[in-house]
Structure formats: C-alpha cells, structure tokens
Structure 1
Amino acid sequence: MKLHEKLAVVAACLVAARLLFSFLRANSAAEPPPQGDQGAASQIAPEIRAGLITRQPTAFRLLRAPDLNPPPRPLTKRRKNAASDRFLDEPLFRLHTWHGEEWMHLAVVACGDRLEETMTMLKSVVLFSLSKIKIHIFAEDFLQPQFKKSMILKDVDSLLYVDTDVLFLRPVDDIWYFLNLFNSTQLAAMAPEHEIPRIGWYSRFARHPYYGAAGVNSGVMLMNLTRIRNQLFKNSMIPTGLRWEELLYPLYHKYKNDITWGDQDLLNIIFHYNPEYLYVFPCQWNYRPDHCMYGSNCRGAEDQGVSILHGNRGVYHDDKQPAFKVVYEAVRDFPFEENLFQALYFPLQNNFLKTVHTLCGRLPQVFLKQIEQTMRKEYEHRVIQRG
C-alpha cells in the first residue's frame, strides 16, 4: 500500500475536521448498499453485508439453521482472569451508541488489488464476532467530492483499524475489550513489532526514534478517538506540543528520508515522545511471520493461540509461509451457507498437516486453538444453551 494511502487513513480516522487526503468510503453495516459502479470498496459480497446486519452471522450453521433474530445479548464487560486468557462477565460500558444501538467500529483501507484481502478480512469478522460492527472502508480518489464535504468519524468515540491482510480468529468483541484496560492517559493500543529487540527490525535498522525497545506494529491499532482529538502530543519540533491533525504532515516532512514503513514509522516516532499514551497488547493479537519464521518467539500464541493473524510480507499469496496461506484460503473459500465445522474447521485441520514441516506450521495449535474455542462457544450458546 502506498505511503500516502496509509497516512491518509491514520489522519482520517483520528481527525474530525481536517482530513488531509482525497479518498474515502464509509460503509455502514445497517445502511443499504450503494447504487451503481462505485469501485472496489462498494463490492462487498451480499452475504458478508447480510452477516454484518445480524447480531449473529448466518455462517454459524452448526447442527441446524440459526435464528436470525436472536434475543438481545446482555451488555457485559469481560474481566480478564490473571491466570488465563479467559474473560469473566461484568457490566459493559464501552460500546459506541449509534441510533440507540450498541456498535463496535472497524476501519480498513481497501485500494487496488487489496479487494480480495479486504473481503476475506471482513468475512473473518462476520464469522467470529458477536456484537454489531460498523465498518468504515477508506477507498480511492473517485470519491473525492464526497470526501471533501464530509466530517469523517466525528461522532465515533473508539475505533479499531486493521490492515487488509489481517484475519480475526476470535470475536472482534475480545480485542475491543482492551479499551477497558486503558489507564487515564492511554489513547491507543498496538502490539510490539518484535518480541526480541536484538533481532527486531527497528533496533537494528531504524534511522528515526521509535517506541520502546523494539517498536510497535500498526497493522492492528485500537484507538480512543475522543482522547486523541483532545490531546497535545509532545514532539521534537515544537515545545508546546501539537494536536494530531497539526502533527502528521510536519512529522512526515521531517523524517520522510528516514522512514521505511510509512505510517507505522510515524506512529513509532509519535509514541517515542509520548509513551504514556500507548497501551501495548500481547503479540497473539497481531501475529505475523516474524513470530515464527526465525523460531517461535510469541509465547502468548503458544499458550493461548493466535487471536488475530497478520499475513504481512505477502505470505497469503506465495508459498514462503504455507501455514498462513492455509488459514487465509480456508476463510476466503468458506461458503456462508455451509456448516462451519465441516466446511471450514475440518478442511483447515487437514490442510495444516501439509505445513507441519515448516517453522510456522510445526505447532498447529497456535493457529487453530482460538478458531476451535470460538466455534465451540458459539455451538454451546446456540445449540446447547438455547436448545
């Protein structure tokens, strides 16, 4: 993805009035599909759109067809048990209200040849999520007129941004929960770029400041937009601090000859000077080839399984890391009308046997554990508890 495209979504997601680039598409899960040919971002498969509208997606055909109008789920907060990755139910207060209903917000940039990845990512959202989600898709410049007259995300309190090459292997609800763990100063959350600083990219090659000992990865970024809009950010240019919309372009022009990874480098620079604003979540919430291709270095994924799979380095589309490709193709090819266990999980298990000779595929439970747990919980909820 081009630097100006990714920098644009960072600006657009975090600023109410000043949007600095000329492309936008905001898709509401509850709104009707746009009319006419409006480019890649409008080509959301009808079955995905239908799944987003229902609280429980139609994909969960376990032993019988599910009820498409289930009774409302009680609003709960999940408190983490310190001894495990399990959550205990408590009253929830963080979901954003939209027209009287509770929503989570997800943003992604979908440009050029990223259409298939984007649709597969959305499919994983539908397959495994519980609460309603409002999708914001940022697309290309044919939407420039609409972009110029819009005030983007001005009423959104919190947002989860993901790259197109991300797959959810458990409900989005569970990463949304991390908003409840922010302290009084934290306004965003990301995972480390690497778990071992001495072999990480930033600690070896970066020519600019970065967060902590190994930097952070921006492929999965959870944000409290209300706090971001109201905060001044310390920086190396102006001692009084700058607001987000005032900071991005000066920062880019100062470091444009030193940055390699675009918006991720800019975010690392920002949080280098403002570490108290960042919550760092564990590596299994942004699991990449770097966590296994040089030997396993994400203990959380070994213990609890991958929660969010991030197939950077193009591994979904080549044969360098077949374990990642197997998961991607299983989700991409799953037909919504089929049984989830029979048409997704069992073929995935079988195909994973072909990858056990590789470094990333040698521990299948790392990739399969959360999928299995999520499907079993859904099965118990729909078939056993509700009979």
Structure 2
Amino acid sequence: MRKFFLCKWFITIFVCVLIIYMCYENYKTASLQNIKKNNSRTNIFSKSSEKIILSFVVCDSRFNESLNVVKSVLLFTKTPVHFVIFTDENLRHKFNKTLTEWKRLSKNQLDFELQKIHFPEAHREDWMNLFSKCAAQRLFIPKLVPHIDSMIYVDTDTLFLGPVDELWSFFLKFNSSHISAMALEDDNPNVSWYPRFAKHPFYGKYGLNSGVMLMNLTRMRDFGWVDYVTPIMLKWKLYIPWGDQDIINIIFHYHENAVLELSCRYNYRADQCMYGDACTDATSSGVFLLHGSRQAFHNNKQPAFQAIYKAIDEYEVGTDPSRSLLNSIEKYFSKAPSSNCGNLKDAFLRVPIRTLNDLYSVPIR
C-alpha cells in the first residue's frame, strides 16, 4: 500500500513538472514571437527613417501647385526625400515625366511612387466629392500603403521654407499614445471656425487644421483608423463642410491623447497674420511651413503669400537658389501692396535665409 502511494506521489510530481515545462515553453515561444514582431516594427520605422517620406493627394487642376510642394522641399532640404503621391490617371504621366527629370537633376535626392486614387466602392461618390475632389483619400492612406510606417502628409497648397528634417524629427517626440501630430485651427475663440460654427464634435477648444499632418501609419492601423471614418462620414456628412478635416477632428475629439500639437509656425495660414500677429512662435522663430488655404497663393487678398509662391514657382530645379530665390522674394514683396501679413516680412524670410546660409557656402545677404 505504501509503495502504491509513493508511486502515485511520483506520478503527480512528474505531471506537475511536465505541465510547468510545457507552460514555460509556450511562454518562451510567445515571447520570441512578440520580440520578432516588435523588432519587425522597429525595422520598418528605421528603414523608413533612412528617407523622409512625404505624401499628398492631387486630382484635376492642382498639378502645378503640387509641383511647388516638391520644389520647396528640394530648395531647403539636402536629405533624401521619398514622395508618395496619390493621383488620378489623368496626371500620372505628367508626374512621372516631370519627377523623373527632377530626380536626375537633384542627383537622386528625390524619389517617388505614384499611387492610384482608391476609395471603397460603397459610398465611393460621397468620398470622391466630400470636400475638394479626392481630398478624402488621405483618410484611407494607412490601409493603402502597408509597406510604409510613417509619413508627413501635406495639402497641395503648402510650401516648406525650411528643411523637412526638422518637421520629421517630431516623430521622435511622440509618446506611446500619439498616432499623429497637427497644428490647431487657431488658438483664438474669436477667430477659430470650430468653436463658432461647428455642429459636430471637434478636437479640444479650437479644433485642428489638417493641412499638415504627421502620420504614424503603423499606430493608425493598430488604432483601427480606417474603420472609424465611414460610420462618421455617414452620421455627420450633412454637417462637415471641411470634409476630411472635420472627420479627423471628430475622431480626435474622442481620442485627444492621440495627437501631438504642433506650433502654428509649422502650418502658417493667413488667419495667423491677416488680423494682426496671431502666431508669436512664427514671429520669433520664423514661418517654417506656409499654408495657402482658401486660395491665398492665387488671389490678391494675401500678397505676402503670393510673393513666396511666385518666387518658388519660378525656381528651376537643379539651379543654385542661394541668391536668385531671395532676390525674387524681395522683388515680389516690394511690389506687393501693404497688408498685415506683409508687415511680418521678417517672419516670412527668417527661416529661408538661415536655411540657405546653412546649405550653401556663399553667405546670403
């Protein structure tokens, strides 16, 4: 009887040891898988970080405007930049021809890929014409480019006045909850559109302007970003005049900790100067990225914005901009009628002058 109990005791111990060993092996396997998964994500980011990745969406009449985005990047940046351009069939050939030539002239600093416009078949027409044509494509980017970890998205009516590296570095400032970074629409309740007119939820007190948007696409995919956008569009489509920007505001209204706020100098619009100086950071440190929303680059209401746009528009890729660009800006500023934005000329020129001094051996001014 004693031997029977001893045998039973040994069998019980053996089974317990076997169960513990199997649990340990399962834990070790799962840990290795998680490490591989995390390493894979780290590698995706490090590979994408070798080149700055910048994206925009363009259809119909904004081809020339979008080329000036590329020009402005090449003017003030020496780091290799990879452009991901979402465009319709009508413009693909024109982009391919022009950017292939610019790639040669820039000694391969510029690289690019052309992506088709692609909306879900359900509600495709709603998406296509939600704001301006194709603009809502940005909402689906996380799913459309699974090979990319992070990118800077900009509207086609934006111009860089400094090296893109500076804006890209904000990805390193993301905490574990951030999936994006954007500037506020305005930080003045008397000027900002959202607290005065919005009939839908929006981010914080003033709302976000989505013309410049840092996107950690890996985190946005984990967040389930694309799954949010269609239900929001269907619920609010009669109340979202700014289309994709309003949808972004609705999402971040409920997830405020997912956004890193950028300074207004990284998304400087006429609202920041037309009523007086409303962006002290730009006044002290200089405008870094100019956003010509509401046709500010093309109408006569904001001559300071037009002066910058015309100078960059006239620049020929591959030529030395160290003197000619600033001379053109000065010329157009001097011809422009007086305006509140024009009175802040130093804020517009501070970053370009400093950047060109850094990039070229000949002192500017």
Matched, 1:168 2:152: no
Structure 1 partner of 2:144: 152
Question: Whose radius of gyration is greater, 1 or 2?
Answer: 2
Q: What code does the residue aligned with 2:308 have? A: V
Quick one: structure 1 residues 346 and 123, their matched pair in 2 at CA, closer, same or farther if it must change by over 3 Å? same
SS of the residue aligned with 1:106? strand
Q: What code does the residue aligned with 2:47 have? A: T
Q: What code does the residue aligned with 2:294 have? A: R
SS of the residue aligned with 1:117? helix
Distance 1:216 1:158 in 2: 20
C-alpha contact 1:96 1:103 (8 A) present in aligned 2: no
Q: What aligned pairs does 1:296-315 form with structure 2 within 5 A after superposition?
A: 296-315=277-296
Structure 1 partner of 2:65: 117
Distance 1:226 1:336 in 2: 33
The structure carrying a bigger helix percent of its residues is: 2
C-alpha contact 2:311 2:325 (8 A) present in aligned 1: yes
Q: What aligned pairs does 1:242-261 form with structure 2 within 5 A after superposition?
A: 243-261=224-242
Structure 1 partner of 2:215: 223
Distance 1:324 1:333 in 2: 15
Q: What aligned pairs does 1:233-312 form with structure 2 within 5 A after superposition?
A: 243-312=224-293
TM-superposed deviation, 1:379: 1.9
Gaps of 5+ in 1: 1-92, 232-242
C-alpha contact 1:202 1:215 (8 A) present in aligned 2: yes
TM-superposed deviation, 1:356: 6.5
SS of the residue aligned with 2:322? helix
Structure 1 partner of 2:86: 138
Quick one: structure 1 residues 298 and 94, their matched pair in 2 at CA, closer, same or farther if it must change by over 3 Å? farther
* Alignment RMSD (CA, Å): 2.4
Distance 1:120 1:377 in 2: 22
Q: What code does the residue aligned with 2:192 have? A: G
SS of the residue aligned with 1:259? coil
Quick one: structure 1 residues 154 and 95, their matched pair in 2 at CA, closer, same or farther if it must change by over 3 Å? closer
Distance 1:342 1:374 in 2: 12
Q: What code does the residue aligned with 2:75 have? A: L
Deviation digits for residues 3-41 of structure 1, max 9, x if unmatched? xxxxxxxxxxxxxxxxxxxxxxxxxxxxxxxxxxxxxxx
TM-superposed deviation, 1:97: 1.2
C-alpha contact 1:356 1:363 (8 A) present in aligned 2: no
Quick one: structure 1 residues 147 and 292, their matched pair in 2 at CA, closer, same or farther if it must change by over 3 Å? closer
TM-score by length of 2: 0.71
Q: What code does the residue aligned with 2:82 have? A: K
Matched, 1:342 2:290: no
Q: What aligned pairs does 1:73-88 form with structure 2 within 5 A after superposition?
A: none
TM-superposed deviation, 1:153: 1.6
Of the three residues 194, 202, 206, the one matched with 2:194 is 202
TM-superposed deviation, 1:131: 1.6
Q: What aligned pairs does 1:34-53 form with structure 2 within 5 A after superposition?
A: none
Deviation digits for residues 241-297 of structure 1, max 9, x if unmatched? xx2121111100000011110000000000000000000010000000111111110
Paired residues in the alignment total: 276
SS of the residue aligned with 1:279? strand
C-alpha contact 1:104 1:176 (8 A) present in aligned 2: yes
C-alpha contact 1:187 1:223 (8 A) present in aligned 2: yes
Deviation digits for residues 286-314 of structure 1, max 9, x if unmatched? 00011111111000110011000000110
Quick one: structure 1 residues 156 and 295, their matched pair in 2 at CA, closer, same or farther if it must change by over 3 Å? same
C-alpha contact 2:303 2:337 (8 A) present in aligned 1: no
Of the three residues 77, 82, 85, the one matched with 1:129 is 77
SS of the residue aligned with 2:278? coil
Q: What code does the residue aligned with 1:133 have? A: V
Q: What code does the residue aligned with 1:371 have? A: P
C-alpha contact 2:71 2:317 (8 A) present in aligned 1: no
Gaps of 5+ in 2: 1-42, 93-113, 119-140
SS of the residue aligned with 1:107? strand
Structure 2 partner of 1:366: 347
SS of the residue aligned with 1:135? strand
Distance 1:145 1:364 in 2: 38
TM-superposed deviation, 1:147: 6.6
Deviation digits for residues 358-384 of structure 1, max 9, x if unmatched? 11101211110000010001124xx79
Distance 1:324 1:216 in 2: 21
